[in-house]
Amino acid sequence: MNAQATTTTAHPSLRGRTVLVTGALGGLGTAIVDAFAASEARVAVHHLGQAGEAAERVRRLTEAGTAAMAVEADITDWDAVEGMVARVGSELGPIDVLVNNAGYMAPGRLAEISLEEWRKTLTVDLDGVFLCSRHVLGSMLERGAGVIVNVSSQLAFKGARDYVSYCAAKAGVAGLTRALAREVGPAVRVNAIAPGPVDTPFITPWATEEWKRERTGDLVIGRLATPEEIAPTVAFLASDDAALYHGQVLHLNGGGVMA
């Protein structure tokens, strides 16, 4: 009996689809963009105040054969987000996949945190998801297809001392994901991931060795995750392989939360 060799790929095909990744220059955002580039998607690299870095990132993607563009916007500003979505649609085509990855995190106990700091976290981490989703949904619903992948956190489910505003915001993202999936599915699929601590520059300001031990002590894997371990799941959720996933929050946290 003759066996015929087949060629397989580790990446789901998203050829020809336009993807907007917010916070695309951070450690996790960079890996997510790479995963979509490997899936043959067109990628919009969102940033805020990082024009030089974004231009260089797009240059490298383009040289590697990926259709890409840089787009700058404050994701907490209605008009800025509306303009960003319009620019992506004009240059790369209507957005097929939105990845709400941009975020903000700062330590602060409830008894000490200011209203300004509380609002900053909620505005970036929750309002930003609302605004970006709000402005891409019209086109998705008109076309009867689209995918939104939100980045929540394991802390939305387990809580953490010193991060009450971040936990509240990310719990809001999880709730928004479930409600929106019921509103716009099955035409538009809405899901989320809930990573544990990831080794990126995002955590650098406070990630002492003691902090790392505390955050990883109850994980089955006993260590920080890498962005490259998270990104493939985002690409999977955007692909046709995830057709049955609606309103799910996938716990990519090394056993920190088991659901």
What is the pLDDT, as a whole number, of residue 10?
54
What is the pLDDT, as a whole number, of residue 203?
67
What is the pLDDT, as a whole number, of residue 25?
96
Which residues does the annotation mark as catalytic? 166
Q: Residues 159, 165, 166, 170: what is their CA dihedral angle, to the nearest 10 degrees? A: 80
What is the pLDDT, as a whole number, of residue 7?
39
**123 three-class SS:** helix
Nearest to 224 by CA among 198, 205, 201: 198
Q: Tell me the β-bridge partners of 27.
A: none
pLDDT digits (tens, 9 = 90+) for 64-79: 999 999 999 999 999 9
What is the pLDDT, as a whole number, of residue 9?
43
Question: Cα–Cα–Cα angle for 37, 40, 45, nearest 5°?
Answer: 40
What is the pLDDT, as a whole number, of residue 178?
98
What is the pLDDT, as a whole number, of residue 218?
79
pLDDT digits (tens, 9 = 90+) for 199-209: 877 666 666 77
What parts of the chain have a pLDDT lower than 50?
A: 1-9
What is the pLDDT, as a whole number, of residue 219?
81
Q: How many whole angstroms separate alpha carbon 182 and alpha carbon 185?
A: 6
Instruction: Map out the domains of the chain as residue ranges.
Output: 18-198+224-250
Is residue 232 reached through a cis peptide bond, with omega within 30 degrees of 0 on the bond before it?
no
The Cβ of residue 164 has, within 10 Å, a number of other Cβ atoms equal to 19
Taking each helix axis from N to C terminus, what angle separates 27-38 and 227-238, rounded to the nearest 10 degrees?
A: 50
Query: Which strands make up the sheet holding 188-193, listed edge to edge?
Result: 68-72, 42-47, 18-21, 97-100, 146-151, 188-193, 249-250
Q: How many whole angstroms separate alpha carbon 75 and alpha carbon 169?
A: 15
Q: Give the containing element (helix H, strand E) for 71.
A: strand 68-72
Q: Tell me which architecture the domain covering 18-198+224-250 has in CATH.
A: 3-Layer(aba) Sandwich (3.40)
Taking each helix axis from N to C terminus, what angle separates 115-122 and 164-184, rounded to the nearest 10 degrees?
A: 30
Q: Tell me the β-bridge partners of 148.
A: 98, 190
Q: Determine contact, residues 201/26, Cβ cutoff 8 Å.
A: yes
| Tokens matching residue 167 | 């936990």
- Taking CA atoms, 84 is separated from 61, 77, 222, in Å, by 20, 11, 39
Q: Determine contact, residues 43/66, Cβ cutoff 8 Å.
A: yes
Q: How many whole angstroms separate alpha carbon 145 and alpha carbon 186?
A: 8
Q: Give the containing element (helix H, strand E) for 38.
A: helix 27-38
